[in-house]
Chains A and B, each alone.
Chain A
């Protein structure tokens, strides 16, 4: 059997995303930032409109708007705004604003579906290099700051007493989140990036005994989801991004059942 190049590129893109969302998604779960991830991801649609309107690279445009959104939400949370409501407002406002902005782009024909739900099968070679850079940057950040991030997540006071600065660690997570959004937009789309951040770690929780195991299992489960989702997409002609998320959800359901059986057996 001959595997086409575009399939290999799609697979590589998906695996790169899995590598970045695994460890970062654990922090999203541990810090209850799921909605924060959604708001950041939705802002990327506005980034798409701006990139196409001003003719700059999609990666740079989405990265910039995602980062701006993440920093804005961080700042508002720091000022004591009720985070849940604030995030709700921002997440939906960013998405709606992005969709309206895209509609103003007359000269360009935009396939909105591709940005909302991903278009992994059209990843080009140059995209792949940019994605690899972004994903490896996120992995590098996670590895470099792992112990400090973990300590600040467990207790900000404890972190401060050890000479760490929890605000700086939060900023690093914010930056990593914006990078992941820019990397994953092409793969699962703005609406499903949040799913890829939360579902594999939630499934991994049922198998992991340490934070490090949870991060590694998350990467593995996300990678398996990518392979299964792509496979389904190619054989059943289903949309690739949603298929990946469906696969991840199925793995989550399996992990819950296995976890319950293990507990019952004890």
Chain B
């Protein structure tokens, strides 16, 4: 049976939002009329200033909070590995890494060792979560997210509190993991510089989708510059080789690459 390319893309999408608006209580909506599609294997980064609704979009897409308008659809039986923004762990809870990885999941000792090895956190099984460094902690969170063999890895500001080398190393690790298991990666960041090098597509958010496209398109968009200032121009040179990334995916064109939204 013949299907239009656009329809085929929709059928195979992991996540899709149509006209999604989200509000907390009676307050004005945090997000309004957001359209969003995530295809298998795609790396998409949502960027935006504080309070722009990045985390809210992530939660709504995963069904953690309801929308007030529009629709969210997820592929049937979608396996999601979620890396939360941060944990407010009370130091009075004795929680070794191995027990944390086994939350709501049955894992053997070997499986735990393999997961920790894969994220560069080998040998931390018996350490208490509250005694880990920032970098080790993120690697353990990532290991837990990988435990269910996810089709989609979701990261909410994963490098908060990491220094620059730590951030770079963590993103390299995510790229590595993605190459290995071929999952899609959806992350949220307020730091476009580091994320850009790995992303197929960047969605710039400020209550609504300001602009969307390959990293180069977004970083040159006037909407993006209005939000983040002009200081990004020079740093982008580092990532020139990714500018034609869209060519690698002829079957899902970036239909939002021109930014027409008015501010």
Does chain A have a CB within 8 A of B26?
A: no
Whole-angstrom CA separation of A164 from B104 in the bound complex? 10
Interface flags, A125-163, vs B, CB<8A=1, else 0: 000000000000000000000011011011101101110
Interface flags, B65-109, vs A, CB<8A=1, else 0: 000000000000000101011011110111110011001100000
Measured between beta carbons, the chain A residues less than 8 angstroms from B156 are: 157
Considering only CB atoms and an 8 Å cut-off, how many residues of chain A contact the other chain? 26
Give the tally of cross-chain contacts (CB within 8 A).
64
Least CB distance, B94 to chain A, in whole angstroms? 5
- Contact, CB under 8 Å: B104 / A30: no
Q: Which A residue's beta carbon lies closest to that of B86?
A: A155
Whole-angstrom CA separation of A205 from B130 in the bound complex? 14
Measured between beta carbons, the chain B residues less than 8 angstroms from A150 are: 103
- Contact, CB under 8 Å: A155 / B94: no
Whole-angstrom CA separation of A250 from B95 in the bound complex? 26
Whole-angstrom CA separation of A216 from B93 in the bound complex? 13
- Contact, CB under 8 Å: B87 / A154: yes
- Contact, CB under 8 Å: B80 / A161: yes
Measured between beta carbons, the chain B residues less than 8 angstroms from A161 are: 62, 64, 80, 82, 84, 154
Least CB distance, B124 to chain A, in whole angstroms? 14
Least CB distance, A210 to chain B, in whole angstroms? 5
- Contact, CB under 8 Å: A147 / B104: yes
Least CB distance, B53 to chain A, in whole angstroms? 16
Measured between beta carbons, the chain A residues less than 8 angstroms from B99 are: 210-211
A: residues with CB less than 8 A from B are: 29-32, 147-148, 150-151, 153-155, 157-158, 160-162, 164, 201-202, 205, 208-211, 213-214
B: residues with CB less than 8 A from A are: 59, 62, 64, 80, 82, 84-85, 87-90, 92-96, 99-100, 103-104, 154, 156
Further 6 A-B residue pairs, CB within 8 A, beyond A157-B82, A208-B94: A155-B87, A160-B64, A161-B80, A161-B84, A210-B94, A210-B99
